[in-house]
């Protein structure tokens, strides 16, 4: 069993309209760094009117569990527009945005229980009987709360009324 990664259902956000692309990307990065996640941007595709970006943050919670928050963003019909906001002309972006948000965690990311069948049996016992409640009642809840906070930041940047 060694390294065990658990993914939760994908949270999907759709938006069509005006938004500030640079501010959205910067706020995601800032939130991850402010909450002690290592920020990674492994993918950024740019076409004429389309953007594809993948961000993820990883955070060591303990020596045994690591949290991951992944944001996959696809924007099409992407263009720069001028709008009047509060009586002032501002430059912003327009497009259709689809965001996949995937929270996950990994147990035994340092591979302490690798090597033999005995260690894997000890790991199974450890997961089922010793830290099962800690995983389900504490770490998973904490990960969901953090995911909710980051989603709130994203929705706020997209201009959602009720966040």
14-34: average pLDDT: 94
- What pLDDT is attached to residue 113? 85
Mean pLDDT in residue range 71-82: 92
Query: What is the distance between the alpha carbons of residues 121 and 113, in angstroms, rounded to a whole number?
Result: 9
Q: Are strands 65-85 and 88-107 parallel, antiparallel or unpaired?
A: antiparallel
- Strands 4-7 and 38-46, bridge-based pairing: unpaired
Q: What's the mean pLDDT in 25-32? A: 96
Note down the domain range covering 125: 4-158
More confidently predicted of 1 and 82: 82
**Residue 151 belongs to a domain:** yes
Q: Say yes or no to pLDDT of 55 above 90.
A: yes
Query: Does 120 reside within a domain?
Result: yes
Residue 87 located in a structural domain? yes
Residue 129 token pair: 């009987």
Residue 157 in this model has a pLDDT that exceeds 50: yes
Q: Tell whether 35 is covered by a domain.
A: yes
Count of the separate structural domains present in the chain:
1
Question: Is 64 a domain residue?
Answer: yes
Q: Would you say 98 and 154 are in contact if contact means Cβ atoms under 8 Å apart?
A: no
Cα separation, 16 vs 18, whole angstroms: 7
- Scanning the chain, the segments in alpha helix (DSSP H) are 21-34, 117-125, 132-134, 140-158
Structure tokens at 93: 């972006």
In a domain, 18, yes or no: yes
Q: What is the pLDDT of residue 3?
A: 59
* Geometric angle at alpha carbon 139, from 118 and 109, rounded to 5°: 45
* Cα 45 from Cα 33, distance rounded (Å): 23
Inside any domain, residue 163: no
Per residue in 1-23, pLDDT tens? 455 677 788 999 999 999 999 99
Name the band, by pLDDT with cuts 50, 70 and 90, for residue 161. Answer: confident
| Token pair for 149 | 């906070």
Using 50, 70 and 90 to split pLDDT, how confident is the model at 36?
Answer: very high
Mean pLDDT within 100-109: 92
Residue 126 within a domain: yes
The pTM of the full predicted model, rounded to 2 decimals, is 0.86
């Amino acid at each position: 069993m060694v390294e065990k990664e658990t993914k939760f259902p994908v949270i999907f956000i759709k938006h069509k309209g005006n938004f500030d692309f640079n501010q959205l990307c910067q706020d995601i990065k800032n939130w991850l760094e402010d909450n002690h996640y290592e920020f990674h941007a492994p993918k950024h595709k740019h076409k004429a009117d389309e953007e594809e970006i993948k961000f993820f943050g990883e955070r060591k919670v303990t020596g045994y569990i690591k949290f991951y928050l992944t944001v996959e963003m696809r924007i099409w019909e992407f263009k720069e527009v001028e709008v009047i906001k509060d009586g002032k002309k501002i430059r912003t972006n327009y497009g259709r945005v689809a965001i996949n948000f995937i929270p996950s965690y990994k147990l035994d990311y340092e591979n302490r229980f690798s090597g033999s069948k005995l260690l894997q049996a000890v790991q199974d016992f450890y997961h089922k009987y010793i830290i099962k409640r800690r995983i389900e009642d504490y770490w998973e809840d904490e990960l969901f709360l953090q995911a909710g906070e980051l989603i709130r930041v994203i929705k706020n940047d997209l201009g959602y009324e009720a966040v």
